[in-house]
Structure 1
Amino acid sequence: MTQKPMTKTQLVAALAEKTGTDKKSANATLEALAEIVSTEVAAGGAVTLPGLGKFACRARPERMVRNPATGEQMKKPADRVAKVTIAKALKDVINA
Structure 2
Amino acid sequence: MSLLPATEVNTAPVVALGLVGGFLVARESGIRPLGGVLLAGCGALAGRTWLAKGGPVTAGALSALYLGGFGGSHPLAKKIGAWPSVAAVTALAAGAAYVASDRR
What is the TM-score of this pair, normalised by structure 2? Answer: 0.30
Structure with larger Rg: 1
Between the two structures, name the one with larger relative contact order (CA 8 Å, sep ≥ 6): 2
For normalisation by structure 1, the TM-score amounts to: 0.32
Higher strand share: 1
